[in-house]
Chains A and B, each alone.
Chain A
Amino acid sequence: MGALSFLKESIFADEYAARKGFLQSLDPRIKTATFFLFIILILFIKDIFTLLCLYVFCLFLTKRSDISLGFFLKRTWIFIPLFSLFIAIPALFSVFTPGEALAGFNLMGVKLVITYQGVFSAALFVIRVITSVSFVVLLSITTRHFELLRVLRIFKVPQVFVMTTGMCYRYIYLFVEIVENTYVAIKSRTGTKIHYKKGQHIVAWNIAYLWMRSYRLNEEVYSAMLSRGYRGDPVTFNEFRAGIKDWFWLLFSAAVFVVLFYFNLQIKN
């Protein structure tokens, strides 16, 4: 259940969002909107150098937001970018990306050729993935999660999704706790390695049990909602305030977006 522990640590730690750094001081609405702009920009960029500049800018923002670079690099490179790096390796070779030969070698009698096109494709792919993931993670760790989910309203997301998302977030924590406790209980009672078939039964039983508990929880939650004044339409408070710093940041991000987008358009395919 390593994934569960990792999830608990990474998602529910609001420690970084509570620090007094640059990004933490921004209005969550403006911060989210500008980060979405950056993520869209990254998607369109065709130039490795521009992507690298955006990645360095992201690391700069990380430092300015009082987040240790070591932690951030570990948090962002593990999983998706490392996996992407791994799957990009075959693309270096002419078998998958034919083109201008850069280098060649023999591997167990098979001649492998690295092409310029392969190196460019693989590098662009990995840098694009790590830059996107870094921006998303930076937004996520510098914003309180309930605020981040509430911000979805400014993107005109239907209320049913926003309310469900907010409530879902709370239940994830509860469910993770239930599952973790169940696993500890099973482990402490078996104390030995079990056959995979038995393991599958335990997992399935856990999922079924979790659903039964969840379903029963539904009624209690509805009563709790009623007691807090729920009358069919959810009401949410909006206490976000944008200051001069937020507007400057918005202007700056919009300018970066327009300039880089324009230069990107000049690059011919």
Chain B
Amino acid sequence: MHIPDGYLGPATCGFFYVVMMPIWTMASKIVKKTLNAKQVPLLAIGAAFSFVIMMFNVPIPGGTTGHAVGGVLIAILLGPWAACIAITVALVVQALLFGDGGITAIGANCFNMAFVLPFTGYFLYKVISYNSAVDSNRRVIAAGIAAYIALNIAAGLTGFEFGIQPIFHKMASGEALYCPYGLNVALPAMLSEHLLVFGWVEAIVTALVVKYLQKQDLNLLKEGRA
């Protein structure tokens, strides 16, 4: 779901930087206010954790593998604002040091993966698990459903961002300047692979991690520890 440089035109890249600026500012203000000094390293640890999650190859039927993004999991563990900073940092490190995800597309990537994904997922998790005990099965199911829906919303947005490129950036004779596929191709392509494969990977991993944490260290799932 990482958008590389060259897929989006300057207008889209600029637009998402502008959209993300107030979100990043608000995230740093809220996190500074809510996180006590002792928990400062937690943000960096959360960012590294979010980076490494994407490196896990998850086995899927047919002998192949996929990978989870972990955005909803980070939001459940750290809260959505801290998750926004942690995932942004992970995406910046990936773009700058690994060349995975473009520098000009950082705004769009962060909007999809550091804002929409954790916030939608966290909200759904809270709604579905409303008033349930921290060690209840409802939490595990809520985490899985939230991860599946949030990842597909983020993937749909990514497809939408690809798909609008030929509308905004096209030569008069019909040549596309950036992503060459319109909404009729980009949107179904992104959505189908996430609805059928990657959404399930995300849901299974998120639910199982919550289940393991319930068994091993319940405190890590309690509200307000980060």
Q: Is A211 an interface residue (CB 8 A)?
A: yes
Expressed in whole angstroms, the Cα–Cα distance for A128 and B40 within the complex equals: 39
Within 8 A of A (CB), among B48-82: 48-49, 51-53, 55-61, 63, 67, 70, 73, 77
Q: Is A149 an interface residue (CB 8 A)?
A: yes
Chain B residues near A170 (CB-CB < 8 A)? 48
With contact pairs A208-B209, A210-B52 given, residues A196 and B38 touching in the complex (Cβ less than 8 Å)? no
Q: Is A269 an interface residue (CB 8 A)?
A: yes
Q: Is A236 an interface residue (CB 8 A)?
A: no
Q: Is B141 an interface residue (CB 8 A)?
A: no
> A232, B4: Cβ atoms under 8 Å?
no
Expressed in whole angstroms, the Cα–Cα distance for A49 and B58 within the complex equals: 42
> B176, A121: Cβ atoms under 8 Å?
yes
Q: Kindly count the residue-residue contacts between A and B in the assembled complex, taking CB atoms under 8 Å apart.
A: 250
Q: Is B135 an interface residue (CB 8 A)?
A: no
> B45, A121: Cβ atoms under 8 Å?
no
Chain A residues near B45 (CB-CB < 8 A)? 167-168, 171, 214-215, 217-218, 221
Expressed in whole angstroms, the Cα–Cα distance for A210 and B96 within the complex equals: 24
Q: Is B204 an interface residue (CB 8 A)?
A: yes
Interface residue stretch chosen among A23-31, A92-100, A103-111 = A92-100
> B44, A168: Cβ atoms under 8 Å?
yes
With contact pairs A132-B5, A200-B59, A269-B172 given, residues A175 and B99 touching in the complex (Cβ less than 8 Å)? no
Within 8 A of A (CB), among B23-63: 24-25, 28, 31-32, 37-49, 51-53, 55-61, 63
Interface residue stretch chosen among A62-70, A76-84, A242-250, A251-259 = A76-84
Expressed in whole angstroms, the Cα–Cα distance for A199 and B201 within the complex equals: 12
Chain A residues near B178 (CB-CB < 8 A)? 125, 128
> A148, B97: Cβ atoms under 8 Å?
yes
> A122, B180: Cβ atoms under 8 Å?
yes
> A164, B180: Cβ atoms under 8 Å?
no
Chain A residues near B173 (CB-CB < 8 A)? 99, 117
> A37-51: contact bitstring with B at CB < 8 Å (1 yes, 0 no)?
001101110100000
Expressed in whole angstroms, the Cα–Cα distance for A46 and B6 within the complex equals: 11
Interface residue stretch chosen among B87-95, B122-130, B151-159 = B87-95
